[in-house]
Chain A
Amino acid sequence: DGGITQSPKYLFRKEGQNVTLSCEQNLNHDAMYWYRQDPGQGLRLIYYSQIVNDFQKGDIAEGYSVSREKKESFPLTVTSAQKNPTAFYLCASSIDILYNEQFFGPGTRLTVL
């Protein structure tokens, strides 16, 4: 079955540690996205990628980094520079960047202790 997988579902880290969240899709989509979701704030875009080896900052990129070395994979690293990293992180993909449905993964809930 085609879809998007994110792992792990729950993640706990100590303050000051970097952590990488995995996102893999087998939908053959060109575009991929990372969103952060906090209660009452909806979905906020962290980074997005239109094609392999290319990505752009979203609205809240500070303290995060990404890579897009393969079409299927778009990992997100939450660095120690992110002031308030505890949140629900959602990865999504679409056929291309414009006017297309985004398919979301199940999300990773990150808690920094």
Chain B
Amino acid sequence: QQPVQSPQAVILREGEDAVINCSSSKALYSVHWYRQKHGEAPVFLMILLKGGEQKGHDKISASFNEKKQQSSLYLTASQLSYSGTYFCGTEMRGGATNKLIFGTGTLLAVQP
């Protein structure tokens, strides 16, 4: 049931773009995205609640393809501050839907 994230790790230069994918084997109610810097608590980025929904702030945005049971996080013109591990959390349809199941994370390193 754990969503699969890809890639597992990515290294970027400042200013480059990246896409992180989150795929589920089951239909989803919603997708959450969090970022965790080393040794710190995860910090909320955004929630997508509807199929086809897209959200974003600053240069980080995300989409939710309900039919494909997946979400993608887009980081545009990356900055050093974007470095960290990105997690998607999914709420699935059917069964106990009142909890998040997190993916294993994608490590993003932005270099000068």
Contacts and interface: CB of A to CB of B under 8 A. Distances in A.
B47 A106 contact: no
Interface of B: 2, 29-30, 32, 34, 40-44, 47, 49, 87, 89, 91, 96-105
A4 to B, nearest CB: 8
Contacts of A2: none
Interface residues of A, number: 25
Contacts of A41: 104
A100 B46 CA distance: 10
B43 A104 contact: yes
B87 A43 contact: yes
Contact of B100 (A45, A50, A90): A45
Contact of A58 (B91, B97, B99): B99
A107 B101 contact: no
Nearest to A4: B41
Contacts of A101: 32, 44, 47
Interface string A40-59: 11111100101000001011
A97 interface: yes
A102 B99 contact: no
A43 B101 CA distance: 8
B104 A42 contact: yes
A99 B47 contact: yes
B91 A98 contact: yes
Contacts of A97: 98-99
Contact of B91 (A33, A99, A103): A99
